Amino acid sequence: MNIDEGEEIAGMWVTPRVPKIGIYKLLAKKKMDGTVEWANFVQRDDGRKEKIYRGTVENVARLADVVSAINNALHTAYGPAVSLITADADVYSLDGKKAPPAIH
């Protein structure tokens, strides 16, 4: 997911590693119009990203609904021990330099 000028990271969540599956991740960015674009995927142990789902919600508050829905699916598949938890991330520009926390 790219963060364009005027956009900001709205949130990041990850699961613990699921054996033989990988780590589920949810990334969200707040767009200039206030809507929030999100992407959910599984990152395999070899680095591949698969099962990518994308969507948009009206505002940051609605992200809780997205996290809840994904957690419900994860609990059904893997049990209550596998849930999305808030994460920090290192963000890099396209030229490989570490990006500042806010991009304006």
CA–CA separation, 73 and 28 (whole Å): 18
Alpha helix locations (H) across 8-92? 63-78
Is the confidence at residue 5, as pLDDT, over 50?
yes
At 83 the pLDDT is 97
Question: Regarding predicted confidence, which is higher, 27 or 103?
Answer: 27
CA–CA separation, 7 and 13 (whole Å): 18
- Quick: pLDDT tens for 53-90: 999 999 999 999 999 999 999 999 999 999 999 998 66
Reported pTM: 0.83
Contact 53, 59 (CB under 8 A): no
CA–CA separation, 69 and 63 (whole Å): 10
